[in-house]
């Protein structure tokens, strides 16, 4: 069995799987249909503000398993469906971000910065085209890297990063995000600090539920959906309702934005966007390959790098980033979409998820059985067939099929979403609120979760009112648990060395960079204030 034999077997396992129905005498495998269904559901879910891929995957997984059962034939249809949702949701997530300024997923937050201003200028369809093109390009690049590098890259990364280095890397991510988002490092640090405070309530290793004030509701901590969806989505709904109220008082009516100007994406524009897409795709892919760091950091980095390049190269009278330039959308969408493929590198070769979507792929593999993500997957056996490797190549094939759907159906679907701008905001915002609360209740099934989400919504509203970015809060909330865990583990693993963050050169460099990025940004923003 050579490498090519395995690739061929993997492709066949998708196309020749159990037959669902036949079309003009050609059998159509159930896996293909499942990828398509997952992809369409993914776009719909991603385009619905308040829903996101992981929620859809979480709801779909138990249903799929009870339909397909626990034998190996179920692996590719179920995981194909989940991969479809993952890819569809990433591309769909840009739709509400661009049209309604409400990111469906945290990683689409940066898309709102230039996407929504374009909508306000009457360029909604064009913004969607830019998002789709960048997203699909980044996705394709990432898939290619996954297939070429999966066996080697993750093993290398894992070999050089031990527990103290991983802890230092998490600290670096948090400090970077606090420093660069929103322009003010102080506000960023406040936002991240609040996120850490929230996630440390009721959690931890001790049996005593810390910071819970003796209440049973707080002793379980805040569910992640309530904090993330509350601050990001409910907060922006509250802010939107307030703006709507002001607008109505001033003008007496609610404005409807009409499309203006050329909505097409010209080849010359693609050429101009391409360097931004390429850089972001590389950034997103590199970040996706690191275990534990998700697409939100990739989107942020892609946007920041794109912004730097744009400011160096732009003509004097070109508009700034954040006022509706297509480059901003391209840089963000290419980065967050290129995470999904590369994210499977640590999943498949080490069994360690890099983001929430990857968690559900691992859960599917574990629940069904017959596929153990880990180093044993990439063992090219010469004499016997390694069935896990066949499944791995089957998954790669599924990713490419989803990618093909992305280029074709994805574009059509996104463009058709342009009509949703005609839905008046005073009808849409309550619907978004209802969907978000429903999604939270579906996940948590207790009333306390709704109250938490509303409270986080109020927090998100005030953060927006005070021009504090909610994103460091959300990322700190997501990474906080991991940070505490890996710090405790690194401390224990080094035999109780209190200076574990400073003894290894790699960790020391990460720590110096964490301090450096905050100081550097603070000095620079102070300098730009004085000069202005």
Partner 1 sequence: MNRILKAGVAALGLAIISTGALAADWAPPGPIKMMIAFRAGGGADTQARLIAEALEAQMGWKFIPEQVTGKGGVNLLATMKDQPNDGTVIGIVVTESVGYNLAAANAGITPADFIGISTTAGFQMGIVSLSSKGWTTFADVVAAAKGGQEIRFGVMSPKLADLAYLLGKAQGVDFNIVSVKGGKAVMNGVNAGDLDIGFMAGIQAKGVAAGDLVNLASGLSTPLNQTPDAPTLADLGVSFNSDGYFVFVGPAGIPADARDALAQAIAGVVSDETTKAGGIIKKAFGGSATITGDALTTLMANDYSDAGALMDAAGE
Positions that interact with partner 1 (CB under 8 A):
58, 61-62, 65-66, 69-70, 158-159, 162-163, 202-203, 205, 207-209, 216, 219-221, 350-352, 359-360, 363, 366-367, 369, 372, 374-376, 444-446, 485, 488-489, 492-496
**Of 10 and 221, which has the nearer Cβ to partner 1?**
221
By beta-carbon proximity to partner 1, the closer residue of 143 and 165 is: 165
Cα–Cα distance measured from residue 307 to residue 74, given in angstroms and rounded to the nearest whole number: 45
| Cβ–Cβ under 8 Å, residues 392 and 10 | yes
* Cα-Cα-Cα-Cα dihedral sign, residues 87, 294, 488, 193: negative
Residue 475 CB neighbours (<10 A) = 26
Tell me whether residue 385 or residue 523 sits nearer to partner 1 (CB atom). 385
Q: How many CB atoms lie within 10 A of CB 237?
A: 24
- Provide the minimum distance between the beta carbon of 352 and partner 1 in the complex, in angstroms, as a whole number: 6
Q: How far is the CB of 68 from partner 1 (least distance, A)?
A: 11
Residue burial 57-96, b: 16+ Cβ < 10 Å; e: rest: bbbbbeebbeebeeeebbbbbbbbbbbbbbbbbbbbbbbb
Minimum Å gap between C-beta 255 and partner 1 is: 43
**Under 8 Å between Cβ of 173 and 293:** yes
Give min distance, CB of 209 to partner 1, in A: 7
Q: Which is nearer to partner 1, 30 or 57 (CB)?
A: 57
Comparing CB distances to partner 1, the nearer of 1 and 244 is 1
Enter the tokens of residue 409: 């159906």
The token duo for 177 is 């995000």
3-class DSSP assignment, residue 23 = strand
* Nearer of residues 133 and 222 to partner 1, judged by Cβ: 222
As measured in angstroms, the least distance from the Cβ of 353 to partner 1 is 10
Residue showing tokens 């003010």: 184
Rounded Cα gap, residues 89 and 411, in angstroms: 13
Distances, alpha carbon 392 to alpha carbons 90, 287, 348, in Å = 22, 21, 8
Q: Identify any residues that bridge with 427 across adjacent strands, giving them in sequence order.
A: none
Closest to partner 1 by CB, 130 vs 501, is: 501
With beta carbons less than 8 A apart as the criterion, state whether 111 and 333 touch.
Answer: yes
| Closest approach of partner 1 to the CB of residue 208, in Å | 7
Residue 227 and residue 234: Cα distance in Å, rounded? 10
Cβ proximity to partner 1, 1 vs 257, nearer residue: 1
| Percent helix / strand / coil, the chain, rounded to 5 | 75, 0, 20
CB of 240 to partner 1, least distance (A): 31
To the nearest whole angstrom, how small is the minimum distance from the Cβ of residue 375 to partner 1? 6
Residue 28 DSSP SS3:
strand
In sequence order, what DSSP letters do the residues of 152-206 get, joined into one string?
HHHHHHHHH--HHHHHHHHHHHHHHHHHHTTS-HHHHHHHHHHHHHHHTSS-SSS
Q: Which is nearer to partner 1, 126 or 166 (CB)?
A: 166
Q: Which residues contact 211 (CB under 8 A, 6 or more apart)?
A: 200, 201, 202, 218
In whole angstroms, the minimum distance from the beta carbon of 206 to partner 1 comes to 8
Query: In this structure, are residues 52 and 109 in contact, taking their beta carbons and an 8 Å threshold?
Result: no
Taking the complex as a whole, the smallest distance from the CB of residue 2 to partner 1 amounts, in Å, to: 22
Residues 41, 46: Cα–Cα separation, whole Å: 8
Instruction: Provide the CA 405 distance to its chain's centre, in angstroms.
Output: 20
Distance CA 50, CA 434 (A): 9
Least gap, CB of 20 to partner 1 (angstroms): 22
Our CB check for partner 1 shows the closer of 435 and 493 to be: 493
Specify the residue, 66 or 531, whose C-beta has the smaller distance to partner 1. Answer: 66
């Amino acid at each position: 069995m050579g490498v090519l034999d395995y690739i061929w077997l993997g492709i066949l396992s998708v196309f020749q799987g159990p037959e669902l129905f036949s079309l003009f005498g050609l059998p159509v495998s159930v896996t293909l249909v499942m990828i398509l269904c997952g992809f369409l559901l993914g776009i719909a879910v991603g385009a619905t503000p308040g829903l996101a891929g992981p929620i859809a995957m979480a709801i779909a997984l138990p249903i799929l398993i009870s339909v397909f059962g626990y034998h190996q034939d179920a692996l590719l249809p179920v995981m194909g469906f989940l991969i479809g949702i993952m890819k569809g949701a990433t591309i769909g997530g840009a739709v509400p971000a661009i049209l309604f300024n409400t990111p469906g997923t945290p990683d689409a937050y940066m898309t709102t910065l230039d996407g929504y201003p374009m909508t306000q200028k009457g360029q909604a369809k064009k913004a969607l085209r830019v998002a789709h093109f960048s997203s699909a390009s980044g996705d394709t690049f990432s898939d290619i890297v996954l297939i070429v590098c999966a066996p080697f890259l993750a093993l290398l990364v894992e070999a050089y990063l031990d527990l103290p280095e991983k802890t230092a890397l998490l600290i670096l991510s948090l400090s970077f995000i606090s420093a660069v988002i929103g322009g003010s490092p102080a506000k960023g640090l406040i936002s991240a600090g609040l996120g850490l405070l929230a996630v440390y309530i009721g959690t931890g290793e001790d049996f005593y539920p810390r910071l819970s004030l003796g209440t049973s509701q707080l002793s379980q901590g805040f569910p992640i959906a309530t904090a993330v969806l509350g601050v990001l989505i409910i907060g922006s709904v509250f802010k939107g309702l307030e703006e709507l109220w002001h607008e109505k008082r001033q003008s007496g009516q609610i404005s409807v934005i009409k499309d203006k100007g050329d909505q097409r994406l010209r080849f010359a524009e693609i050429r101009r966007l391409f360097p931004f897409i390429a850089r972001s795709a590389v950034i997103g892919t590199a970040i996706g390959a690191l275990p534990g760091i998700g697409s939100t950091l990739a989107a942020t980095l892609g946007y920041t790098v794109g912004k730097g390049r744009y400011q160096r190269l732009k003509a004097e009278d070109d508009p700034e980033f954040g006022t509706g330039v297509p480059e901003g959308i391209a840089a963000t969408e290419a980065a967050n979409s290129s995470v999904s493929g590369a994210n499977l590198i640590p999943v498949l070769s080490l069994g360690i998820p890099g983001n929430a979507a990857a968690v559900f792929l691992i859960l599917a593999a574990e629940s069904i059985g017959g596929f153990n993500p880990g180093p044993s997957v990439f063992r090219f056996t010469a004499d016997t067939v390694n069935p896990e490797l066949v499944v791995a190549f089957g998954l790669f094939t599924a990713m490419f099929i989803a990618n093909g759907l992305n280029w074709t159906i994805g574009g059509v679907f996104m463009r058709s979403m342009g009509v949703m701008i005609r839905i008046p905001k005073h009808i849409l915002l309550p619907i978004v609120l209802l969907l978000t609360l429903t999604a939270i209740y579906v996940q948590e099934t207790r009333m306390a979760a709704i109250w938490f989400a509303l409270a986080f919504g109020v927090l998100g509203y005030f953060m927006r009112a005070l021009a504090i970015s909610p994103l460091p809060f959300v990322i700190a909330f997501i990474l906080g648990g991991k940070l505490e865990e890996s710090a405790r583990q690194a401390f224990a693993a080094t035999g109780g060395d209190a200076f574990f963050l400073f003894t290894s050169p790699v960790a020391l460099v990460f720590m110096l960079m964490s301090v450096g990025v905050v100081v550097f940004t603070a000095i620079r923003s102070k300098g730009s204030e004085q000069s202005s």
